[in-house]
Amino acid sequence: MRYKLFGRHTGLRVSELVLGTGNFGTRWGHGTEPAEARRIFDAYAEAGGNFIDTADSYQFGQSEEILGDLLQGRRDDFVVATKFTQRADPKDGILVTGNSRKAMIASVEASLRRLKTDRIDLLWAHYSDGVTPVEEIVRGFDDLARSGKILYAGLSDFPAWRVARAATIAELRGTLPIAGLQVEHSLVERTTEQELIPAAQALGLGLVAWSPLGGGMLTGKYRKGETGRAQGFGGKVFQAENSAQRSAVLDAVLAVAEDLGVTPGEVAIAWVAAKGALPIIGPRTVAQLESNLAAADLRLTPDQIARLDQVSALPPVFPYTMLQDPATQQRSAGGQFDRLDLPALPVA
């Protein structure tokens, strides 16, 4: 497995595939027993993986508890990322959920105990609660970093304008930078390409993509009658094959996989990686892990990427319907747009 620098604000070197551990545990009624979780973890490490993604709420804290045991004696070999915002315990109330500093600190203290460690390498705000100002979130991150309890901070599932504001406030105040952004991204969830992914690229944030398989839909297994997350997680974090376009996307993935002699899941994960994100793989079994890891060795050709891009394309939204219009582009460049060398990354 190769290693990538995590964004442009850190020197952190992370593996190209992230191990998501939402399946570590069974308190949600669907997941992996600790013994199988250990086999998954060990196989991921053996393949060179070093980036672990969990959350206080995963399996109501059991994911972190299992990881705490697995990390003993090898803590420094991994980047451990966890999240706060949701309930780690079904009994948790209004004061220890959401994005407030009080909730953040309470969550971090509990996560440190479950993980059996003295610091969290990367703390994500799990998603926007819609009420906590980003100034408070940025200040909370900085306080925790100064106390040595976290090293880096990021935002997960926040609107792009809030991500940009948080990153700017941290930059202007000289506090702990917003280092990363986590979003859903796959061939059946490309709306993040309209604002969120360009924002991450322009702001230099490490970009992590969850559910690159569309909750398993892009493996084709649900066509074979398997249930997986479609039933196991009550239909959550799952993209259904519920439109003609999605059926066409899956048909294209299956066709590319057959041409290459690989699994459809490898193709789906490799496509996400080709777009610049670090895909989170969330295996429930060692067999699923091995299939996911094979994606690290797969490089899709430009023609294959274009084929998948075309079948999964979404119509542009405003203001891009105007900004990407050739006439608009020519007017803003004095009629010389076709002779203009554009920047490699979006400008902020």
Query: Measuring CA to CA, how many Å separate 65 from each of 22, 68, 113, 116?
Result: 12, 5, 8, 8
Query: Measuring CA to CA, how many Å separate 133 from each of 83, 99, 345?
Result: 18, 9, 29
* Residues annotated as catalytic (active site), given as ranges: 58
The span from the CA of 95 to the CA of 34, in Å, is 31
Q: What's the burial of 225, exposed, middle or buried (CB within 10 Å: 0-12/13-18/19+)?
A: exposed
Tokens of 263: 């699994």
Query: Measuring CA to CA, how many Å separate 309 from each of 107, 295, 302?
Result: 39, 18, 10
CB atoms closer than 10 angstroms to residue 103: 22
CA atoms within 13 A on the CB side of 183: 27
Residues 25, 59 contacting (CB under 8 angstroms): yes
The span from the CA of 84 to the CA of 100, in Å, is 10
